Amino acid sequence: DIQMTQSPSSMSASLGDRVTITCRASQSISRWLAWYQQKPGKAPKILIYDASTLESGVPSRFSGSGSGTDFTLTISNLQPEDFATYYCLQANSYPRTFGQGTKVDIK
Amino acid sequence: QVQLQESGPGLVKPSETLSLTCSVSGGPMIYYWSWVRQSPGKRLEYIGYVHHTGDADYNPSLKSRVTISLDTSKRQFSLNLSFVTAADTAVYYCARLYDTNAQGHDWFDLWGQGILVTVSS
């Protein structure tokens, strides 16, 4: 199985901040990575797929980059509704595997 | 608008079989349909998928205990997980797998709201 490691596991940020979350795969997954946002008691919501393609309806302050083993999710100008936990998912091979999550809370 | 909804018992006894159903409203049934679970405080875990062609895949960590089936006439797919233990306590999500470029690199684009299943006597 491909192991996905996110960093940091948690972070505190202020409104308007630029936030960067990284995800590292244990082997190359080309650009086959997705990012999800999950709020307490809710299902994950797709934000980005194919490493950098923004899902329809997702605000443009979310962006993704990377290829191979190293990927980044960036949230510019953090908004109140962005405080949540973020997960990466490798879509290169089965079984699909997720990162352990990064919780973004209010500083 | 496509919506997914899980249903089933919220409490299962150890060594018994966990059975859940996902009802799909709207849209065609030609996709790959999947189950994902999330144990308390833990990461999301892929369980498996089923396709209307009969194709199915299971996570090797659960393969010996899992069956996922699809009934397109009822617009439902189901999860059976046998010989459950407390480690199977989790929120179970049904989800649709989607791939824009048909290269097999699909991701979970639509999710049900999730159902908490507790394994306890």
Q: State whether residue B86 is helix, strand or coil.
A: helix
**DSSP one-letter string for A21-86:** EEEEESS--TT-EEEEEE-TTS--EEEEETTTEEPTT--TTEEEEEETTEEEEEESS--GGG-SEE
The pLDDT tens digits of the residues spanning A13-48 come to 999 999 999 999 999 999 999 999 999 999 999 999
- d(CA A96, nearest CA chain B) in Å: 6
Split chain B (121 residues) into runs of 10 and give each run's mean pLDDT.
Answer: 96 98 94 96 94 93 97 96 97 94 88 98 96
Helices (H), chain B: none
- d(CA A73, nearest CA chain B) in Å: 17
The pLDDT tens digits of the residues spanning A58-104 come to 999 999 999 999 999 999 999 999 999 999 999 999 999 999 999 99
- Of B17, B14, B39, nearest in space to B90 by CA: B39
Question: Under an 8 Å CB criterion, which residues of B touch A?
Answer: 43-46, 57, 59-61, 93, 95, 100-101, 105-109, 111-114
Distance from C-alpha of A67 to C-alpha of A87, rounded to nearest angstrom = 17
Q: What value does the mean pLDDT take over residues A2-23?
A: 97
Task: Kindly determine whether residue B46 and residue A92, on different chains, have CB atoms separated by under 8 Å.
Answer: no
